Structure 1
């Protein structure tokens, strides 16, 4: 399994529509990338809504090849174009690896 975290940062005044994100954006991501090896998505919201992280999405892929295939797929432009519908924040991608 390979994991990528998508992080959105800002503060309490930063626009982030959780309802749209959960009900529209995440299903779009799954629809576009599942066929390439995306296995699951989960979202975490910080308890403190002050300055810092607004949301973190954990994307679990079958393997590294699935990450590459998903991000290079024909659906990725649609996924990225949808971001403007729920936030003005540019998301950050972080590849997670297990401690060895």
Structure 2
């Protein structure tokens, strides 16, 4: 199993539409990357107290090769171009060495 996380760090003036993210963006990413071994996606939103992130997703792939293929696929451009529809935060992508 290989892990890719995408987080959205908060800053002054940040916006993040959770409903759009859950109903539209996440399904778009799952459809785009399913063929490359995406096995699960776990979304985390902050508790009520001040937090450093607006949210993050933990994406589990079968292996690192699947992550490479997913990120290199033409569908990834569509996933990335959807980001401004729910946030003005630049996502931070982290690959874990499982």
Q: TM-score range by the shorter chain?
A: over 0.9
Q: Give 2:24's aligned residue.
A: 24
- Structure 1 alignment gaps of length 5 or more: none
Say if 1:8 and 1:92, in contact at 8 Å, map to a contact too.
yes
Say if 1:9 and 1:89, in contact at 8 Å, map to a contact too.
yes
Q: How far apart are the structure 2 equivalents of 1:77 and 1:49? A: 34
Q: Give 1:73's aligned residue.
A: 73
TM-score for both structures, normalised by structure 2: 0.92
How big is the shift at 1:83?
A: 0.2
Q: Give 1:37's aligned residue.
A: 37
Say if 1:12 and 1:51, in contact at 8 Å, map to a contact too.
no
- Structure 2 alignment gaps of length 5 or more: none
Runs of 4+ aligned residues of structure 1 deviating over 6 Å after TM superposition are none
Q: How large is the RMSD of aligned CA atoms in angstroms?
A: 1.5
